[in-house]
């Protein structure tokens, strides 16, 4: 891949175009063909031109551009316009753009107001200009489709746009610091958000009114939360941004709100449980593994057109360790795979004992504990589409990551285990078979994704049925959490990686 800096030296990435449409003529270098139309964009490689034949893309090396809208090749500056979710844009984009520039040895300027400029330290020339405008989802989509924005920052994918995962957040309930309620179940949270609960005493709290605080209904976070509930949030107090929301909740003893894990600020995060009392902890590993049911992905959406070279390089950079570190430093959960010793999560074994069905025997639990002994869990977890044997979208991304890491030799000294689990809705024998089938399905998909892997590099399959529930089996959401295939690592020789280590 050509570096951004090389591209800046040898080609114009995107010249500043006039706001009004102007004509150009692209003539082949042998003079046999000419196309006239309105220049839509130029990224240093390709022209996009609206003609009587429609929108055409033309290789810039094969033509000569003539006309008032032709780019000035002596002033190569990429203009990247981002629109979308306000809070995520303000907190995530500046450190990511700064890390992107630093990874290429370029200078950057992060002003309080205005675009972020990336410059060549040798010449002082501005090579790229990143700008961000907060905008609700519908308007952001319209801007990108009209060619007035290159990228959309959003919590919900949109039809007709490519999707690049940027970061993860966890939706958490927050209350005032002096609110005495020790914890809240997901069922009670849903009832409160929908307006069914009007007094804290109705959900185990003190006898006082419950006042819902929220963002505007058309904000990304509020739309994502409403989609989870299947209804609008019945909020009495509306705030323009997450910082104002958290500050207001911290001052209001009657308040309840839902915010991102990165935005709780002075308010108190109220621990969540499911309806059976299983604790739901928004740790980085549980969010990455989708064990936490209120995880909120944050995406960069790309329009179905060729983006400027610097924008494409920025998108590629998002998969790098430097980008992951910038995301984590901003308080969000990055997408880098994470590993943790099984012994660091004693709650899982406690839940296994407490939630074991009548058919789960002591021998079953002893076999589970024996395999877990000395093992680490990797955050790559695999789940399936409802009613299907096909992996869901997040799991397909995990499979690609796993194939890449095995091919790179990252687990050379490790034995890999695909540990299959089921919910408890059938008999123990049936559930054991189902968990084995799911684990073998992940293994088969891995073989397809990485056909050159030797059999010794592939994981082994272990099935445990319903023996290690993550959540309550009496709810649809809980059963979905319990149906999973986890990736465990055990040292083939030597010592395992330290707790919480991140893998590139």
Question: What is the secondary structure of 154-211 as a DSSP string?
Answer: ESS--TTEEEEEEEEEEEEEEE-TT-----EEHHHHHHHHTT---BGGGGTS-SSB-E
pLDDT of 76: 59
Assign 3-class secondary structure to 53-79: CEEEEEEHHHEEEECCCCCCCCCCCEE
Nearest one of 377, 379, 351, 353 to 291, comparing CA atoms: 379
**pLDDT band of 16, cuts 50, 70, 90:** very low
C-alpha distances out from residue 484 to 163, 233, 241, 414, 438, Å: 24, 30, 36, 22, 8
Least confident of 29-33, 427-431, 458-462, 479-483: 29-33
Query: Does 2 have pLDDT greater than 70?
Result: no
Helix axes 321-329, 86-103, angle to 10 degrees: 140
- For 97-136, the pLDDT digits (tens) are 999 999 999 999 988 888 999 998 988 889 899 999 999 9
Cβ pair 192, 212 in contact under 8 A:
yes
pLDDT of 470: 81
Average pLDDT, the chain: 85
The residues pairing with 255 across neighbouring beta strands, listed in sequence order, are 211
Q: What mean pLDDT comes out for the span 80-85?
A: 95
Cβ pair 115, 126 in contact under 8 A:
no
**Is the Cα torsion angle 304, 65, 82, 287 positive or negative in sign?**
positive
Query: Does 403 have pLDDT greater than 50?
Result: yes
Distance CA 258, CA 268 (A): 11
Nearest one of 378, 372, 382, 379 to 346, comparing CA atoms: 372
DSSP 85: -
Cβ pair 460, 339 in contact under 8 A:
no
DSSP 486: E
Query: Does 7 have pLDDT greater than 50?
Result: no
Distance CA 149, CA 129 (A): 13
Q: What mean pLDDT comes out for the span 283-302?
A: 90
Cα first-last separation, the chain: 19
Distance CA 463, CA 283 (A): 25
Distance CA 254, CA 262 (A): 22
Bigger pLDDT: 112 vs 504: 112
Distance, C-alpha 413 to centroid of its chain? 29
Least confident of 150-159, 210-219, 409-418, 423-432: 423-432
- For 248-282, the pLDDT digits (tens) are 999 999 999 999 988 888 899 999 998 888 888 89
pLDDT of 29: 75
Distance CA 79, CA 127 (A): 9
Distance CA 106, CA 133 (A): 24
Question: What percentage of residues in the chain have a pLDDT greater than 70?
Answer: 89
pLDDT of 295: 87
Cβ pair 117, 80 in contact under 8 A:
no
Least confident of 195-204, 440-449, 484-493: 484-493
Query: Does 15 have pLDDT greater than 60?
Result: no
Question: What percentage of residues in the chain have a pLDDT greater than 90?
Answer: 44
- Cβ-based burial of 348 (10 A; exposed 0-12, middle 13-18, buried ≥19): middle
Quick count: other Cβ atoms within 10 Å of Cβ 471? 25
**pLDDT band of 345, cuts 50, 70, 90:** low
**pLDDT band of 494, cuts 50, 70, 90:** very low
Query: Does 407 have pLDDT greater than 70?
Result: yes
pLDDT of 1: 39
Place of tokens 């998969």: 319
Query: Does 80 have pLDDT greater than 90?
Result: yes
Degrees, nearest 5: CA angle 322-325-330: 130
Bigger pLDDT: 48 vs 3: 48
Enumerate the H helices of 420-495 as residue ranges: 428-449, 476-482
pLDDT of 419: 94
Query: Does 424 have pLDDT greater than 90?
Result: no
Distance, C-alpha 206 to centroid of its chain? 37
From edge to edge, which strands make up the β-sheet containing 23-28? Answer: 54-59, 46-51, 34-42, 23-28, 63-66
The three-class DSSP label of residue 292 is coil
Distance CA 195, CA 188 (A): 11
- Taking only Cα atoms into account, the Rg of the chain, rounded to an integer number of angstroms, comes to 26
From edge to edge, which strands make up the β-sheet containing 272-273? Answer: 184-185, 272-273, 279-280
* Alpha-carbon torsion, ordered 94, 100, 104, 109, to 10 deg: -10
Enumerate the H helices of 336-384 as residue ranges: 346-355, 362-372
Q: What mean pLDDT comes out for the span 13-23?
A: 44
**pLDDT band of 84, cuts 50, 70, 90:** very high
**pLDDT band of 457, cuts 50, 70, 90:** confident
Nearest one of 414, 478, 401, 497 to 442, comparing CA atoms: 401
Bigger pLDDT: 3 vs 302: 302
Least confident of 70-84, 106-120, 186-200: 70-84
pLDDT of 17: 37
* CATH numbers and ranges of domains, the chain: 17-66 (2.30.30.100), 78-167+297-329 (3.40.190.10), 172-287 (3.40.190.10), 339-491 (3.30.1330.60)
Query: Does 20 have pLDDT greater than 80?
Result: no
User: DSSP E strands: which ranges in 261-336?
Assistant: 268-269, 272-273, 279-280, 295-303
Q: What mean pLDDT comes out for the span 404-412?
A: 89
pLDDT of 276: 80
Query: Does 467 have pLDDT greater than 70?
Result: yes
Q: What mean pLDDT comes out for the span 73-89?
A: 83
Least confident of 68-72, 147-151, 380-384, 446-450: 68-72
């Amino acid at each position: 891949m050509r570096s951004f800096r090389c591209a800046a030296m040898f080609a114009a990435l995107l010249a500043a175009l006039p706001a009004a449409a102007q004509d150009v003529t692209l003539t082949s270098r042998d003079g046999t063909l000419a196309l006239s139309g309105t220049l839509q964009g130029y990224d240093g490689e390709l022209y996009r031109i609206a003609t009587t034949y429609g929108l055409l893309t033309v290789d810039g090396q094969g033509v000569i551009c003539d006309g008032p809208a032709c780019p000035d090749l002596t002033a190569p500056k990429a203009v990247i316009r981002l629109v979308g979710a306000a809070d995520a844009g303000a907190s995530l984009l500046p450190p990511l753009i700064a890390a992107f520039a630093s990874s290429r040895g370029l200078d950057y300027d992060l002003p309080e107001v205005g675009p972020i400029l990336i410059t060549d330290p040798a010449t002082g020339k501005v090579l790229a200009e990143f700008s961000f405008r907060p905008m609700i989802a519908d308007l952001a989509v319209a801007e990108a489709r009209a060619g007035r924005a290159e990228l959309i920052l959003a919590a919900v994918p949109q039809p007709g746009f490519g999707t690049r995962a940027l970061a993860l957040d966890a939706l958490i309930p927050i209350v005032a610091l002096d609110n005495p309620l020790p914890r809240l179940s997901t069922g009670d949270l849903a009832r409160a958000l929908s307006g069914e609960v009007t007094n804290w005493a109705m959900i185990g709290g003190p006898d006082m009114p419950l006042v819902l605080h929220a963002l505007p209904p058309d904000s990304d976070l509020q739309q994502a939360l409403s989609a989870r509930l299947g209804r609008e949030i019945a909020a009495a107090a509306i705030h323009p941004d997450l910082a104002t929301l958290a500050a207001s909740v911290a001052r209001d003893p009657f308040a309840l709100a839902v915010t991102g894990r990165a935005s709780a600020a002075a308010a108190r995060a109220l621990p969540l449980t499911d309806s059976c009392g299983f604790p739901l902890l928004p740790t980085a590993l549980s969010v990455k593994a989708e064990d936490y049911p209120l995880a909120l992905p944050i995406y960069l959406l790309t329009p179905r057109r060729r983006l400027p070279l610097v924008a494409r390089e920025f998108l590629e950079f998002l998969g790098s360790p430097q980008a992951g570190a910038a995301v984590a430093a901003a308080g969000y959960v990055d997408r880098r795979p994470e590993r943790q010793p099984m012994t660091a999560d004693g709650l899982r074994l406690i839940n296994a004992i407490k939630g074991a069905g009548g058919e789960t025997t002591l021998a079953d639990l002893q076999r589970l504990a024996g395999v877990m002994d000395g093992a680490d869990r990797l955050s790559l977890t695999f789940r399936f589409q409802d009613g299907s044997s096909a992996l869901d979208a997040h799991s397909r991304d995990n499979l690609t990551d796993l194939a890449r890491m095995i091919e790179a030799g990252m687990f050379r000294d490790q034995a890999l285990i695909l540990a299959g689990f089921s919910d408890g809705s059938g008999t123990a024998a049936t559930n054991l078979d189902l968990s084995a089938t799911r684990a073998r399905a992940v293994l088969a998909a891995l073989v397809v994704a990485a056909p050159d892997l030797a059999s010794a590099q592939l994981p082994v399959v272990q099935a445990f049925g319903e023996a290690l529930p993550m959540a309550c089996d009496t709810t649809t959401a809980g059963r979905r959490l319990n149906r999973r295939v986890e990736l465990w690592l055990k040292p083939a020789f030597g010592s395992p990686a330290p707790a919480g280590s991140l893998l590139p």
